[in-house]
Amino acid sequence: MAGANGNVLTKIVHLPGSETIDVYRANGGYVALPEALKKSSDDLIDMVKRSGLRGRGGAGFPAGTKWGFVPKGTNKPVYLCVNADESEPGAFKDRLICAKDPHQLIEGTLISCFAIGSSRAYIYIRGEFAAEARILNAAIEEARRAGFIGKNILGSGWDCEVSVYRGAGAYICGEETGLIESIEGKRGQPRLKPPFPAVVGLFGCPTVVNNVETIACVPHIVTRGWEWFAGIGTERNTGPKLFGLSGHVNKPGVYEAPMGTNLRTLIEEFGGGVPGGRPVKAVIPGGASCPVLRGDEIDIPMDFDSLTRAGSLFGTGTPVIMDDTVCMVRAAWITARFFAHESCGQCTPCREGAGWLQRLLWRIETGEGEEKDIDTLLSVTDQIEGNTICALGDAAAWPARGFAKKFRDEFLQHIREKRCPFGGGSHS
């Protein structure tokens, strides 16, 4: 049932009308849901645990384990929040699913709800994804008419409602507790943990927050079995993965490949190499928060563990490729500017530190920096990391530190020459 090249998650995205229920069903859609409804909640959770599916939102937490944290026999409603707030610079894989295969997401959402004992799902979508929100809403209506959403789904006696909740343009609402606050109508800012959402989440009730791609994997695990999923990729990094290539590649886009696919393979074979045959200078492997890799570090399996070992992060698996025309100080500054702008501002190290990093990088980029600014920069990243309520602090600290450490010479060149050797140094 796989599509061209054996693709599963992106099997139908190239087909005309792929966002409609008819095309989805004609290609094997909504087969998993009736199968899942015959199973028990425990069986489904067990299945996902055994599949080895790790969260595709960046942290790589085992999805089945997360589901298992929902207290059994709770008398409160249980919620599923699907995180479609994809806002990390470089990441655009979830958007493809929302736009081109919304029913895969809806079917996964329904099965996941059934597994965790929920009858209510919210798909929290990034505010800028207006078209995708419309497509999802239309798909939800189709699914409702087909009897997959609503009361007594497929005669199972189980009810489930799914709705789309649009964000208002804050990256931080992709953090799971920031997302929950936002759905509750509050200022989007992360909560103190514990308690974790599985126990006290949306409206104070047990809640699971899963990434779009994570949820999209679920129907396939049900129809093909956990063994199939676990057989793809590497031992602790299983299943198919959507890789979003951007930057200096000939064919940027979303590609499906097994977890653990080599980064160089992704760039050269999927992405068609760097335009003009220029060398790869640097790659941000998994979205802007992941520390940069040098061009000589890209022979690496793209999975959570390999990148962590390499001192970076897998993140959302969406590499940004930069050739030798890119100024690393400027790249670092653009990243820092993003995180400073997106910090919710509630806790001190992130609020103050992210803005400070941005200023330091800009000063170096404009040729006004001193060598001690690099030391201050590294020290500020140390002062942020690990000291904040949520991971945005870390996300601001890691890339700045990564660029400064991996490309220290280029930073020093800016300082020595009192200018950007790439001719940069103006806002644009």
Partner 1 sequence: MATVTLQIDGRTVTVPKGTNLVDAGKQAGVFVPHFCYHPGLPVVGVCRICLLEIEGRPKLVAGCATPAEEGMKIITRSAKVKEARRAVMEFLLIHHPLDCPMCDKGGECTLQDYTVAMGPAASRFRFEKTTWPEEDVGGKLVLNKNRCILCLRCVNLCKDVAGVEEIAVLSRGEETYIGTIGDRKIENELAGNIADICPVGALTSKDFRFKSRPWELKNEPSICTLCAKGCNTVVGYHPRRREVLRITARENMDVNQWWICDRGRGQFRAIHAPDRLQGPSRRTEGKVQPVAWNAAIAAIAEALRGVLARGGPGAVGVIASAELTNEELYLTKTIFRDGLGIQNVDAPERSQSPVVYPKFTIEGDRNPNTRGARAIGVAPGTGGRTVRDMIQAASEGQVQALVFLRGGPLDTFGDPATVSRALDRAALVIVLDTHASPVAEKAHWVLAGATHVEKDGTYTNSAGRVQRVHRIFSISPESREDWRVIQDLGVALGVLPERAAEAEQVFARLAASTPAFSGMTYASVGDQGAPLTAASADVAVG
Q: Does 233 bind partner 1 (CB under 8 A)?
A: no
d(CA 225, CA 50): 10
d(CA 48, CA 360): 45
d(CA 353, CA 343): 10
Name the segment binding partner 1 (CB under 8 A); options: 48-56, 217-225, 297-305, 377-385.
377-385
Q: Does 356 bind partner 1 (CB under 8 A)?
A: yes
Q: Does 156 bind partner 1 (CB under 8 A)?
A: no
Count, residues near partner 1 per rule CB under 8 A: 30
d(CA 33, CA 108): 8
For partner 1, the binding residues in 326-345 under the rule CB under 8 A are 340-345
Question: Going by C-beta distance under 8 Å and a sequence separation of 6 or more, which residues neighbour residue 49?
Answer: 62, 64, 65, 68
195: left (phi over 0), alpha (psi -120 to 50) or beta: beta
Phi first, then psi, for residue 120 (nearest 5°) are: -150, 120
Q: Does 361 bind partner 1 (CB under 8 A)?
A: no
How many CB atoms are closer than 10 A to CB 287? 27
Contacting partner 1 (CB under 8 A), which of 36, 170, 198, 322? 170
For partner 1, the binding residues in 173-202 under the rule CB under 8 A are 187, 192
Q: Exposure string (b/e) for 360-397, b if CB count within 10 Å is 16 or more?
A: bbbbbbbbebeeebbeebbebbebbbeebbbbbbbbbb
Cβ-based nearer residue to partner 1, 50 or 359? 359
Cβ-based nearer residue to partner 1, 11 or 191? 191
Cβ-based nearer residue to partner 1, 312 or 343? 343
Q: Does 381 bind partner 1 (CB under 8 A)?
A: no
Contacting partner 1 (CB under 8 A), which of 41, 223, 234, 387? 387
d(CA 367, CA 381): 21
Contacting partner 1 (CB under 8 A), which of 241, 351, 401, 406? 351
How many CB atoms are closer than 10 A to CB 175? 26
Cβ-based nearer residue to partner 1, 57 or 353? 353
Contacting partner 1 (CB under 8 A), which of 346, 367, 378, 419? 346
Instruction: List interacting residues with partner 1 (CB under 8 A).
Output: 170, 172, 187, 192, 340-349, 351-356, 359, 363, 376, 379, 382-383, 386-389
